[in-house]
């Protein structure tokens, strides 16, 4: 059994979904592990990870609009606003999604479906550099 780890940085410009499938897939392929399991972990409380449709851009905009409705930026609604009006809604959106993904590796490649992509979901309005821990285990 072999293991490989890495940290990657994803730059975000605004709230929304940033696809990172290609970067993650290239790293996995470079590790030369044929069969295994990749774990991705987002090291933040105001950004999250999703596996989602990557063919139709409307899916991304609909998801972003949905989360804006269920966790709105309303200064009257939250006590926590240390970093501005998008602070607590960002934490709520992260709590409703996930910060960790597990993806099988088969034949040295991510076993994603035809229309699946890996996304960092930035929940803050201003640009950030988000850190993701990757751990691949297999043979």
pLDDT one digit per residue (tens) for the chain, 139 residues:
999 999 999 999 999 999 999 999 999 999 999 999 999 999 999 999 999 999 999 999 999 999 999 999 998 999 998 988 899 999 999 999 999 999 999 999 999 999 999 999 999 999 999 999 999 999 9
User: What global pTM score does this model have?
Assistant: 0.95
pLDDT of 75: 87
**Which of the listed CATH numbers 2.60.120.460, 3.90.1150.10, 2.40.30.170, 1.10.150.120 matches domain 2-138?**
2.60.120.460
Task: State the Cα–Cα distance between residues 48 and 76, nearest whole angstrom.
Answer: 25
First-last CA distance in the chain? 5
pLDDT of 135: 98
CA 105 to each of CA 5, 18, 75, 88: distance values in angstroms, whole numbers, following the listed order: 15, 22, 44, 35
Tokens of 69: 């409705």
Q: Cβ–Cβ contacts within 10 Å for residue 64, how many?
A: 17
């Amino acid at each position: 059994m072999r293991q490989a780890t890495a940290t990657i940085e994803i730059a975000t410009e605004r709230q929304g979904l940033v696809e990172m499938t290609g970067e993650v897939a290239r790293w996995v392929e470079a590790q030369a592990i044929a069969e295994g399991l990749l774990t991705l972990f987002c090291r933040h409380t105001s950004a999250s990870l999703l596996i989602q449709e990557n063919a139709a851009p409307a899916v991304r905009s609909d998801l972003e609009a949905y989360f804006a409705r269920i966790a709105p930026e309303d200064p009257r609604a939250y006590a926590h606003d240390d970093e501005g009006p998008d602070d607590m809604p960002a934490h709520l959106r992260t709590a409703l999604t996930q910060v960790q993904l597990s993806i099988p590796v088969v034949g040295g490649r991510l076993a994603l479906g035809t229309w699946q992509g890996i996304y960092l979901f930035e929940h803050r309005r201003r640009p950030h550099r988000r850190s993701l821990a990757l751990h691949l285990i297999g043979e």
